[in-house]
Amino acid sequence: MATAYQNLSEYNTDRVPDASFMRVGIVASEWNQAITEKLLEGACNTLERHGVKPENICVEHVPGSFELTFGARQLAEHQDLNVVIALGCVIRGDTPHFDYVCSGVTQGITSLNLQYDIPFVFGLLTTDTLQQAESRAGGRYGNKGDEAAVTAIKMADFVCRLKK
């Protein structure tokens, strides 16, 4: 569903499982840092609000969005995590660079989900303008970081329930 029809920060808190046992990795892009820091803040606040201890949130930064998949894989391989969130922002420019980066990150996160036994959450904003990004990083459409954190909690819980 298009973001224009649903606020990224609105969700039914009754449907979010207890996250107090979870260890979460977050890899955030430094590119478009004014946006990605807001996404990161939203994700961390939401994780903590649902029980994840701050010391169980491992945050690392990579230079750009294209590097998110490598950073996410490294977190999964070197930390004991239940889930990894990839946060970034790509804003369309005058060249096809946008398409290549967005496609690469999408395919990369999908590939990680198929290769590993933990979920990798896609928290990449792909917008046409800076205004659209701001609207999705704590603006009028909420915060994609909140949405990514709730997705991470639900997916980590999903895996834990299946392993019982």
Active site residues: 97
Identify whether the C-beta of residue 89 lies closer than 8 Å to the C-beta of residue 124.
Answer: yes
What is the spatial distance between Cα 35 and Cα 11, in angstroms, rounded to a whole number?
22
| Long-range CB contacts for residues 75-79, cutoff 8 Å, separation at least 24 | 75/25, 75/27, 76/25, 76/112, 76/116, 76/118, 76/120, 79/23, 79/25
For residue 54, how many other CB atoms are within 10 A of its CB?
Answer: 8
